[in-house]
A and B are shown apart, each in its own frame.
Chain A
């Protein structure tokens, strides 16, 4: 007989939408504005970084709360943002092809965006 178990687990789930923040470049704060879409471990989106439009490709771990965002400009220059959740936002470090690195922080623009704790649906278990 198939029955639903009452067991459920909390998990982190990022929600789609606008994100704003900054990254530290050579001692100055450079603004970041991104629109991200999270699907099945994959992040896609677009944004503006240092006055250049970037497309975003990345991965995220729903359970780990880690996120990797690769920002690529039209001329192919890439920056890798390596972040982890901090509240509803993401903080971490960035690295570009020249080896330059620094800190970054992003927070959701809309209230309903960001990393939220959600209840995972109870899993089906088989009894008998």
Chain B
């Protein structure tokens, strides 16, 4: 037993010695650290140099924040409501403006009628119009201007009509537009049969979607086909609005060289976009171009 206790005492003593040694080591380390800090504190030129760089650091931080904002804008993450006028109309309506409500009804009536007839529910046109508009007024506060009132109204009325069909086990029944007798709907029916066709609407939306897809894919395409410096140049020069002189000073390149690099980068980017999305991305605006 005594042997064991001796051994235990010895190991205890050893542990104490180790602890003391490690404590001393720690103290030495802390002392060294203190010396380093004291040296730093006592070295005004170093501190002065650090302070002297702070303005650049701050400017860099501001620039990065600006670029982040600009990038977000490029990929539609902080875009303002696209349909501000529609949103304003909806807000006026929510503030109790009857004129605004009338305007909304006037705009949405053809859309709702179109959905009613598209679902083959023209035989119950009057009731369904009331039902859908009750739903529209109910949901108006949820309109945030992310789509136009017509698009929003079309989706809302389609959902309301589908729900109604499910609830009433209603069956579609073909009613030709010519049989519409309501004089009040003459204008709406005219619009239904006229310029605002379903196909035209779909095509416009498809084209719009395609351009938005292109914009969203732009950053990833650029990273694939451009050198990082070139993509950086495009962003700094176009999105951030930095001058060639400023960029030339930072990169050591001449303004002429930067201008040429921008041109080449744009050409490469366009070629890659054409390869992915096709060369006819500008088709939809060709028709609106007046002859010179």
Show the binding face of A for B, using Cβ within 8 Å: 11, 13, 18, 31, 33, 35-37, 39-42, 44-48, 51, 55-68, 70, 72, 78, 80, 82, 84, 95, 97, 99, 109, 118, 120-121, 123
- Complex formed: what's the CA distance from A11 to B270 in Å? 27
Inter-subunit contact A61/B266 (CB<8 Å): no
Q: With both chains docked as a complex, state the minimum distance between the C-beta of B260 and any C-beta of chain A, in angstroms.
A: 7
Given contacts A35-B285, A47-B289, contact A80 B215 (CB under 8 A): no
- A sample of 16 more A-B contacts (CB under 8 A), given A37-B211, A61-B73, A95-B263, is A13-B80, A31-B292, A35-B285, A37-B285, A41-B74, A41-B215, A42-B211, A42-B218, A46-B286, A57-B273, A64-B239, A66-B239, A78-B266, A99-B260, A121-B80, A123-B78
Secondary structure at the B interface, as helix, strand, loop or mixed, is: helix
Given contacts A64-B238, A64-B241, A65-B241, contact A57 B289 (CB under 8 A): no
B54 / chain A contacts, CB cutoff of 8 Å: none
Chain B window 39-64, contacts with chain A (Cβ cutoff 8 Å), 1 for yes, 0 for no: 00000000000000000000000000
Secondary structure at the A interface, as helix, strand, loop or mixed, is: strand
Chain B window 268-292, contacts with chain A (Cβ cutoff 8 Å), 1 for yes, 0 for no: 0110011000010110111011101
Inter-subunit contact B281/A95 (CB<8 Å): no
Inter-subunit contact A63/B73 (CB<8 Å): yes
Inter-subunit contact B234/A68 (CB<8 Å): yes
Inter-subunit contact A56/B238 (CB<8 Å): no
With both beta carbons as reference points, the residue of chain B lying nearest to A63 in the complex is identified as: B70
